[in-house]
Amino acid sequence: MQKRHAIVVGANGLIGKELTQCLIDNELYEKITLVSRRYFDVEHPKVILEVIDYRELHKHWELFTCDDLFYTLGTTIKNAGKKDAFFKVEYDYCVNIAKIAHHNKVKQFLLVSSKGANPKSLFFYTATKGKIEENLIQIGYPTLHIFRPSVLLGQREEFRFLEKLSQGFLKMFNFMMIGFLKNIKGMPSKNLARAMVIQAEKSEKGIHIYSNRKIHEMLKNG
């Protein structure tokens, strides 16, 4: 099987770190480029770290060339400061990178979106996620994977109060969430990373959207 090159955008985040380890452990990937806003320690012969300013993507056009691009970059309105800044990080950076990568003939784009993503949502966060998905579909990737997890379980570097509150609740009651409740069941970051790599390996053409429940079932069946 032909070896692959993967790019992880947002590599120093909760999902990005787990993805990096999954890709390092996977023999299919011989090169892993980590894209981040800041430097962090990472040492492995497969791995290359690229620190960039996302506001100057035009300077990094050739960087986004690979087989599989995993997009995990995200923020919160609180961290961004205001809705306009949040939209720029969440929407502009993602869509612009996706367009550049598509121009560079990237075969697969894998996005961490969110449960409830819908461009017509009454909530700004899920509406933004929905608009991102809508635009990625229009770009026309041969293979597009969209993952819509519920609350992510894991240790972030920055403190997110509401997410921390939800994590505490879900850690206590996750085992009870079966059937339709799987769609709100907490998603361990390590599990989401595994699911993304599993689907990337398959290289199935088309648009694939995975609900929180489907991700849980995928890993259980796998």
Three-state SS string across the chain, please? CCCEEEEEECCCCHHHHHHHHHHHHCCCEEEEEEEECCCCCCCCCCEEEEECCHHHHHHHHHHCCCCEEEECCCCCHHHHCCHHHHHHHHHHHHHHHHHHHHHCCCCEEEEECCCCCCCCCCCHHHHHHHHHHHHHHHHCCCEEEEEECCCEECCCCCCCHHHHHHHHHHHHHHHHCCHHHHHCCCEEHHHHHHHHHHHHHHCCCEEEEEEHHHHHHHHHHC
Q: Is the pLDDT at 186 greater than 90, yes or no?
A: no
Torsional class of 126: left (φ above 0), alpha (ψ -120 to 50), beta (otherwise): alpha
Mean pLDDT, rounded, for 192-210: 96
* Amino acid at site 109: F
CA distance 35 to 49: 6
- Mean pLDDT, the chain, rounded, equals 87
Between residues 212 and 75, the one the model is more confident about: 212
- Which residue from 175, 185, 174, 172 is spatially nearest to 213, judged by alpha carbons? 185
Domain boundaries, position 96: 4-221
Question: Which CATH number is 61's domain given?
Answer: 3.40.50.720
Mean pLDDT, rounded, for 75-82: 81
Q: Is the pLDDT at 176 greater than 50, yes or no?
A: no
pLDDT of residue 23: 97
CA distance 15 to 118: 22
Taking only the tens place, the pLDDT of each residue in 123-172 is: 999 999 999 999 999 999 999 999 999 888 855 454 444 444 444 444 54
pLDDT of residue 81: 78
Confidence of residue 5 (pLDDT cuts 50, 70, 90): very high
pLDDT of residue 143: 98
Q: Is the pLDDT at 1 greater than 80, yes or no?
A: no
Domain count, the chain: 1
Taking only the tens place, the pLDDT of each residue in 84-95 is: 999 999 999 999
Sequence-distant (≥ 6) Cβ neighbours of residue 33 within 8 angstroms: 5, 6, 7, 8, 47, 48, 50, 63, 66
User: What is the chain's Cα-based Rg?
Assistant: 17
pLDDT of residue 75: 83
Between residues 104 and 222, the one the model is more confident about: 104
pLDDT of residue 170: 46
pLDDT of residue 164: 46
pLDDT of residue 182: 46
Instruction: To the nearest 10°, report the CA torsion of 215, 168, 179, 208.
Output: -20
Between residues 148 and 186, the one the model is more confident about: 148
Between residues 185 and 20, the one the model is more confident about: 20
pLDDT of residue 139: 97
pLDDT of residue 154: 57
What residues are labeled active site? 125, 129
Taking only the tens place, the pLDDT of each residue in 15-59 is: 999 999 999 999 999 999 999 999 998 889 999 999 999 999 999
